[in-house]
Chain A
Amino acid sequence: MNEKIIKKFEEIVGVEFVSTRADVLLTYSQTASLAVEPVIPAAVVRPANTLEVSQILKLANQYKIPVTPRSGGSSLQGEAIPKPGGLVVDLLRLGGIKLYENLRSVTVGAGVTYGELDKFLKKHDLFLPVYPESALVCTVAGNIAVNGAGPGSSLFGCIGEMVLGLEVVLPDGSIIQTGSEANPNAPGPFIRYAFGPDITGLFIGSLGSFGIITKASMKTFKRMKFFDYNMYGFDTAAQAEQFLVEVKQNDINSLFASLYSGEVLDLFMDMLSEELGFPSFEYSNRTVSMTIGRVREDMMKSDAKLACEICEKLGGKVLGVSEMPQQEWEGRFWNFVRASYAHGWHWKILYHHQTPTNSHKSVDIIMEVMDKYRFLGHTAGFHSGHSSMNLYPHLYFDPQDKEEEKKVVEAHKEIAKKLFRSGAVPFKLAEFWKDAIEDMDGYMAFLRFLKNSIDPNNIMNLGVLGGI
């Protein structure tokens, strides 16, 4: 990058917060996304506030420098891999948490992680009830940019459902505020759909291609105190899937409901049951592990009773095992990460949303392709909203076996195509989906139109959002 431009960045953020060093650039060439080619950027900047972000983008736009926004660096599908000659904007310095207790909302800076926010809200007996499994690393703003999900999503949906408004710096450096806070006289964030169409929604899941989120205003909820943890075993996928539908239909407050096949449970129990304190039990063909959460005890008990009745009505068995769902919920900051790393393999992920009653299709497709290409992996899923399951296949490879990695990348493409054809939709419209999506020309053309309108110089995370 031109020395003069570097100097201008230094004038904006200070010399200390700009780097063009080879070692620093290397560390920004990749994220937690495995089996993704690293790309060395030309420079990294660490702005302190929205104004500095705005000045940076104005400059980048002027000189048509590709920009990759990045906060936690924990994304898994190549969402924050830089472009050659590009600039990485590291947003972790944008801190700050402001609570609006009576508005039931909170505003956080782009660098605030879920862990940090949860600790803060807990003091006020509140929580933001959707947690990515990377909550210790991931920032709220970054997670909004990818529209993440995790524990809590079974009841509350993806994180996008929790957003009341965003402060965004657009590619030309201008700053907009969405939601009720767009009104400078508003007492704070209290409603999202405030001024015409859902502009907030435009940036949720945009993977940083429409602008940089510098502040996010979120709904807060009273922290739940009453939980029921149980597991439900079924002989068939159909029974388990129907159970999930009826849990929703009957307003059972399932905070987190995961669906596992017997083999996957078997594998992970072997690995981690001792460490995490799970008892041994007989695995059914399909098992649902569910956490019910309520602010009132009577509601929790009523939900728990009804869940058991529905299970048995469908021919399933109430297993009475609480440890696993309890660890899934109470250990939501760390246990899943541990389970994903303990076995030693690297993996490429292909998460997507399916309907509960179609989730067996995903499992069949994934297993079939893994067998075809002959590599290891696993998949499971959790309820991620009104009528969706988030399935997260992990395709394993040995990090020292480049052939195996290549195989996994090929298989990944094939799985994506087959999943799309089965009716699944992307969980984050990452770049690889562009080859899997069919018969959506109109939609993709409109997305391209939006991109070109908002970012005419194409500087923001080019090629990441569905290849656009």
Chain B
Amino acid sequence: MSEIDLDELIENLLQCRRCGICRNAVFEDRGFDGVCPVWRNSSGFETSFMRGRIQVALALLDGTLEKTPENAEALFTCTLCGNCTEICAAEFDPTECLEKVRAVLSDIPNDVRDTIAEKIMQYDNPYEENNQIKRDWVKEVGFEVPSTGDLLYYTGCTAGIRLPNIAKSTAKILKAAGIDFAVLAEEPCCGSVMLRTGRVEDAKKNAEKLAEVIKNSGAKKILVTCAGCLKTLRLDFPKLGIELPEILHVTELLQEIIKENKLEVTSLEKGARVTYHDPCHLSRTAGVYESPREVLKAIPGVDLVEMETTRETAMCCGAGGGLRSYDAELSKKMAADRVKSAIDIDAEIIATACPFCENNLIAGAALIDSSIRIVDVVDLLAERLK
């Protein structure tokens, strides 16, 4: 991000007329059935949705509220899902503003934010794991994967460390489609969470490091399986002055592969009602709605059904924007709420296209003792490849 213009930020924040549409609007014509999942799943005070957050932001910026971690809480109990921006009638972007406020007010102590940033800077991932293990999944795919090449599969920390099945499935699909790809020998974090939580300087340093590593890989195109990585690499890096090759989400590539009949896909053993959860950073932010759905529809036996809120108005799973670390309990409650939406339409499977969403939805399902299957689109497809 170029230096934040504080005057412009305040002017934008003052565009909020405190109408409250960002709270729980049920606007059937546009597909909204509620707006703010935090408000919905917390004690519901004004500070739990964007109208209140903006008031708190303005008060912290002008000194009306003392800059303390408690007073700044409302700034961080938000996933930056963008649903409020989607419905806001004023001429500004509340979500973007809140992210900027986090950066401008980064002097307010926040242990969670700072700890994650330190972990990323030290370990190249937020999980405090030996970063080498991010490539361990490669040993299990049954073929060699180089570390340089035209198409680079950027695994991302969550798939690489927590949900390696996603990476293996992606590799399997690409191999089946006859597409060569590389995986970095040592993959730095994309730094998304640092950007979301206001640690912009660190994010920039990290981004420069990653850009250099990618350059050295010879990549002409980068493939990601994480919506957070997609937003960061495709949309945020240019704002930091960093140019990368074209970034594709795996479902965007898969849609093309499927159209070209490069894959032989068998039917599900038993037909299943499958619903797709739109990850915020893939959908509202990057505008990718149909590719994942096309991939699912290409699997015979999938009966694709939609939840009450989908696409532009899909309720967030609760994982993003640093919330999962900041308030894991709230984050999981939001995930459980999202899982309930799937249960309400008798879905048997929730498919999604972001490992962070998948991870949180699994936690949400556990919270309500639901046995609904939660799986990445690539995993579901890979299972059905001949």
Which residues of A are interface residues toward B (Cβ below 8 A)? 16-17, 19, 21-24, 26-28, 30-32, 34, 44, 46, 72-74, 90, 92-93, 113, 115-116, 118-119, 122, 134, 136-137, 330, 333-334, 337-338, 340-342, 344, 346, 399-400
Contacts and interface: CB of A to CB of B under 8 A. Distances in A.
A330 B30 CA distance: 12
Contacts of A330: 29
Interface of B: 10-11, 14-15, 17-21, 23-30, 32-33, 43-47, 51-52, 55-56, 59, 64-66, 70-71, 73-74, 87, 89-91
B89 A341 contact: yes
Contact of B28 (A16, A31, A46, A119): A119
B21 A137 contact: yes
B15 A341 contact: yes
Contacts of B51: 27, 73
19 contacts: A16-B43, A21-B70, A22-B65, A24-B45, A27-B47, A27-B51, A34-B17, A34-B18, A90-B44, A113-B24, A115-B28, A119-B28, A137-B19, A137-B25, A333-B29, A334-B27, A334-B89, A342-B91, A400-B11
B44 A46 contact: yes
Nearest to B55: A27
Nearest to A347: B17
Nearest to B56: A23
Contact of A74 (B20, B43, B91): B20
A399 B51 CA distance: 16
Given A19-B45, A46-B44, A26 B56 contact: yes
B45 A90 contact: yes
Given A27-B45, A337-B19, A115 B14 contact: no
For B11, B74, B89, which residue has the most chain A Cβ atoms within 10 angstroms? Answer: B89
Contact of B65 (A17, A19, A26, A346): A26
A53 B26 CA distance: 25
A23 B70 contact: yes
For A22, A26, A344, which residue has the most chain B Cβ atoms within 10 angstroms? Answer: A26
A333 B45 contact: no
Contact of B15 (A19, A338, A344): A344
A205 B65 CA distance: 35
Contacts of A137: 19-21, 23, 25
Contacts of A93: 44
Contacts of B47: 21, 23-24, 27
A115 B45 contact: no
A333 B46 contact: no
Contacts of A22: 65-66, 70-71
For A27, A116, A337, A346, which residue has the most chain B Cβ atoms within 10 angstroms? Answer: A27
A136 B88 CA distance: 11
B19 A26 contact: no
B17 A346 contact: yes
Contacts of B28: 115, 118-119, 122
B27 A333 contact: yes
Given A46-B44, A137-B23, A342-B90, 11 more contacts: A22-B70, A23-B70, A27-B46, A28-B46, A30-B18, A31-B18, A113-B24, A115-B26, A334-B30, A341-B17, A400-B10
A271 B318 CA distance: 36
A101 B29 CA distance: 24
Contact of A134 (B19, B56, B70, B91): B19
A261 B45 CA distance: 42
A350 B17 CA distance: 16
Contacts of A31: 18
Contact of A113 (B25, B55, B65): B25
Contacts of A30: 18, 55
Given A116-B26, A118-B28, A337 B14 contact: no
A262 B44 CA distance: 44
A396 to B, nearest CB: 12
A125 to B, nearest CB: 14
Contacts of A23: 47, 56, 59, 65, 70-71, 73-74
B84 to A, nearest CB: 12
A341 B70 contact: no
B64 A26 contact: yes
Contacts of A19: 43, 45
Contacts of A342: 89-91
Contacts of A334: 21, 27, 30, 87, 89
Contact of B52 (A17, A27, A34, A346): A27
For B21, B47, B51, which residue has the most chain A Cβ atoms within 10 angstroms? Answer: B21
Contact of B44 (A21, A92, A122, A341): A92
B52 A341 contact: no
A346 B14 CA distance: 9
Nearest to A134: B19
A346 B90 CA distance: 11
A339 to B, nearest CB: 9
B64 to A, nearest CB: 7
Contacts of B90: 341-342
A115 B27 contact: yes
A245 to B, nearest CB: 33
A171 B43 CA distance: 25
Contacts of A21: 47, 70
Contact of A341 (B20, B26, B91): B91
A96 to B, nearest CB: 15
A269 to B, nearest CB: 17
Nearest to B72: A23
A90 B10 CA distance: 28
**6 closest pairs, A vs B, by CB?**
A27-B46, A115-B26, A136-B25, A27-B52, A137-B20, A341-B90
For A17, A44, A341, which residue has the most chain B Cβ atoms within 10 angstroms? Answer: A341
B374 to A, nearest CB: 28
A21 B70 CA distance: 9
A84 to B, nearest CB: 16
Given A73-B46, A341-B91, A136 B26 contact: yes
Contacts of A73: 18, 20, 46, 51
A34 B17 CA distance: 7
B65 A44 contact: no
A72 B14 CA distance: 20
